């Protein structure tokens, strides 16, 4: 059963169509990667999924419910968590306090759950540090901890490995693999090594439309994908 789906999803900005008639199905418990060249429409597509913008046409459904017109905070309550491509932590609060805000938002037990979330991303020993004092990579990990603290059914990760050291990327890959099947993951990622290691299926966007979709090894070998993305644009 699909947890998330779109039908004819379209977003136009004046004369520019950023997302064009996209049909998309994400089954419960799957780790899906969304890739494509810069300007392919990935960020706009994800913005339509999480409610940061409204579609020009088409629908978004979550667990069978039409959420196309729901605000972002209403989608969070349904179980959709989204980490931004640019970090959105509260710089003047500690790492612990940042995660505690996410826990309290859904009425959870901060005393127990905050250390667990920080431990999962490797930041438990940085709990007392101000978020603004953390490295960029550690801020990304903190944001993932905040997402996990919401106990989401769907976790959307936008460029999560940007700024991470190799050892941190290894830990991140293990973390994502450990989330399934309880948590469905949509991963927007330029690092193809990460994509190939964690994704069960890949969707490729190009010029706002789906160019290809399938198992990682199949997509990687697709001539159209290689020409549009893997052959010369950030891989």
In this structure, the answer to whether residues 14 and 43 fall within a common structural domain is yes
Residue 85 in any domain: the answer is no
**Calpha distance 72→212 (Å, rounded):** 28
> What value, to the nearest 5°, has the Cα angle with vertex 86 and ends 165 and 224?
80
pLDDT at site 71: 95
Question: Which domain range does residue 68 map to?
Answer: 2-79+154-230
Burial class of 7 by CB neighbour count within 10 A (0 to 12, 13 to 18, 19+): middle
pLDDT of 122-171, one tens digit each?
Answer: 999 999 999 999 998 899 899 999 999 999 999 999 989 988 999 999 99
In this structure, the answer to whether residues 162 and 223 fall within a common structural domain is yes
Q: What band does 18 get if pLDDT is binned at 50, 70 and 90? A: very high
Question: Does the pLDDT value for residue 234 go beyond 60?
Answer: no
Nearest to 22 by CA among 76, 110, 36: 36
Residue 70 in any domain: the answer is yes
Nearest to 98 by CA among 127, 63, 120: 127
pLDDT of 31-86, one tens digit each?
Answer: 999 999 999 999 999 999 999 999 999 999 999 999 999 999 999 999 999 986 55
Residue 42 in any domain: the answer is yes
**Calpha distance 228→232 (Å, rounded):** 8
In this structure, the answer to whether residues 6 and 75 fall within a common structural domain is yes
> In 79-163, where does DSSP find H-type helix?
95-105, 110-120, 136-149
Instruction: Give the mean model confidence (pLDDT) for residues 228-232.
Output: 71
Nearest to 69 by CA among 43, 41, 46, 48: 48
In this structure, the answer to whether residues 161 and 61 fall within a common structural domain is yes
Residue 34 in any domain: the answer is yes
In this structure, the answer to whether residues 147 and 162 fall within a common structural domain is no
Q: Sign of the C-alpha dihedral, residues 137, 139, 142, 143?
A: negative
Number of domains forming the structure of the chain? 2
pLDDT at site 1: 78
In this structure, the answer to whether residues 158 and 225 fall within a common structural domain is yes
Domain boundary among 131, 151, 171: 151
In this structure, the answer to whether residues 165 and 145 fall within a common structural domain is no
Q: What band does 180 get if pLDDT is binned at 50, 70 and 90? A: confident
CB 161 within 8 A of CB 204: no
Beta strands in the chain (DSSP E): 2-13, 16-27, 31-35, 57-62, 65-66, 80-83, 154-158, 184-188, 201-206, 209-214
pTM: 0.90
CATH of the domain at 66: 3.40.50.300
């Amino acid at each position: 059963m699909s947890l998330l789906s779109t039908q004819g999803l379209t977003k136009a900005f004046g004369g520019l169509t950023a997302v064009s008639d996209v049909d998309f199905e994400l089954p419960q418990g799957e780790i899906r990667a969304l890739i494509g060249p810069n300007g392919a429409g990935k960020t706009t597509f994800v913005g339509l999924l999480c409610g940061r913008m409204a579609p020009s046409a088409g629908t978004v459904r979550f667990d069978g419910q039409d959420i196309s017109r729901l605000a972002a905070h209403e989608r969070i309550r349904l179980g959709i968590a989204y980490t931004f491509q640019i970090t959105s932590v509260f710089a003047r609060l500690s790492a612990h306090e940042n995660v505690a805000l996410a826990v309290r938002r859904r009425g959870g037990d901060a005393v127990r759950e905050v250390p667990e979330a920080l431990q999962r991303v490797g930041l438990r020993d940085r709990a007392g540090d101000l978020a603004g004092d953390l490295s960029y990579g550690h801020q990304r990990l903190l944001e993932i901890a905040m997402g996990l603290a919401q106990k989401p059914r769907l976790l959307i990760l936008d460029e999560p490995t940007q700024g991470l050291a190799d050892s941190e990327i290894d830990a991140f890959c293990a973390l994502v693999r450990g989330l399934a099947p309880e948590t469905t993951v949509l991963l927007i990622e330029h690092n193809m090594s990460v994509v190939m290691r964690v994704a069960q299926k890949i969707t490729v966007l190009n010029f706002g439309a789906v160019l290809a979709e399938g198992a990682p090894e199949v997509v990687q070998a697709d001539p159209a994908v290689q020409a549009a993305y893997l052959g010369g644009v950030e891989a």
